[in-house]
Amino acid sequence: MMNLADSAPVTNNLLGSEADSQRTLYPYVTGTSVIGIKYKDGILFAADMGGSYGSTLRYKSVERLKSVGKHSVIGASGEISDFQEIMRYLDELILYDNMWDDGNSVGPKEVHNYLTRVMYNRRNKFNPLWNSLVLGGIKNGQKYLGTVSMIGVNYVDDHVATGFGNHLARPILRDEWHENLTYEEGVKLLEKCMRVLLYRDRSAVNKLQIAKITDEGFTLSEPYSLKTFWDFNAFKNPTLGAEGSW
C-alpha cells in the first residue's frame, strides 16, 4: 500500500524528474469498487460513497455514479480528481452531440469507445487517468455494459466490477446472475456483493448508492447503509479452550 503522508515528490533517475512533464504518478483521493449488472429492464450499478486518502477514510459523501447523456451511466474507482476531469470531457461530448440537433444521441457503446480511446492514449503517454471505469446503459432496448481500466483494458460482459469487486463480487455474480433478473432481485444481488465488500475491503465505507438506467431514464438512489452481521458463535469467543491463541 502506498504511504501517502504528505511527502515531497521524489526524483526517479530512470524516468526523469517528476516535475518535468505532466504525468500522474500516484493517486491521492481514491474511490473503491464499483459493480454493474444487466437486468431485465436495463442496467444496475452499485458503489459506495467513500473517498479514501491513503489509509484514512477521509470523505464519505462522494458520488461515484453519474449519468452520461440520456442512455448511459458511468461508475468510477480510483483518483477522484481524474474522474471529475473525465466527467468534464463527457459533458463536453454530450454537449457537442446535442448541438448537432439531429435526433441522434450518444449511446453507451459510443461512450465506452470514447473512454477507451481517452484512457489508452493517456496510458501511451505515461500519464494515465488513474481510474477504473464501469460504463453501462440501454438504447432502443439494447442493453450494454462494459469496463475500461487506467491502462486501456476494456471489455463488455453481463456483469462487471472494478478493484476488489473483481475478486469478491464477480464470483458471486457468476453463480447467481441470470438473464431477466427483476429490479428487486438485481438490487438484492448487488447488496449481497456490497455487503461482502464492506466486510472484506478496508477502503469500503457503509454508505452506498444504487443507480438504475432503463429506456425510461436514469435514477440514482438516496444514500443508504447496509446492516451487517456479527452474531456468530464462532465470532463470540474464538479463543475459548485455547487461551493465548488468536
Which residues lie near another protein (CB under 8 A)? 6, 8-9, 18-19, 21-25, 27-29, 51, 53, 56, 58-59, 61-62, 79-81, 84-85
| Nearest CB to another protein, comparing residues 7 and 239 | 7
Q: In whole angstroms, how close is the CB of 78 to another protein at the nearest point?
A: 11
| Nearest CB to another protein, comparing residues 24 and 105 | 24
User: Is 44 in contact with 198 (CB distance < 8 Å)?
Assistant: no
Q: In whole angstroms, how close is the CB of 23 to another protein at the nearest point?
A: 6
Label each residue of the chain as H, E or C: CCCCCCCCCCCECCCECCCCCCCCCCCCEEECCEEEEEECCEEEEEEECCEEECCEEEECCCCCEEEECCCEEEEEEEEHHHHHHHHHHHHHHHHHHHHCCCCCCCCHHHHHHHHHHHHHHHHHCCCCCCEEEEEEEEECCEEEEEEECCCCCEEECCEEECCHHHHHHHHHHHHHCCCCCCHHHHHHHHHHHHHHHHHHCCCCCCCEEEEEEECCEEEECCCECCCCCCCCHHHHCCCCCCCCCC
Q: How many CA atoms lie within 13 A of 161 on its CB side?
A: 22
| Nearest CB to another protein, comparing residues 154 and 162 | 162
| Nearest CB to another protein, comparing residues 22 and 140 | 22
Active site residue 228: no
Cell 477514510, residue located: 57
Q: In whole angstroms, how close is the CB of 207 to another protein at the nearest point?
A: 14
Q: In whole angstroms, how close is the CB of 205 to another protein at the nearest point?
A: 13
Q: In whole angstroms, how close is the CB of 18 to another protein at the nearest point?
A: 5
| Nearest CB to another protein, comparing residues 18 and 185 | 18
Catalytic residue among 24, 147, 162, 214: 24
Catalytically active residues, by annotation? 24
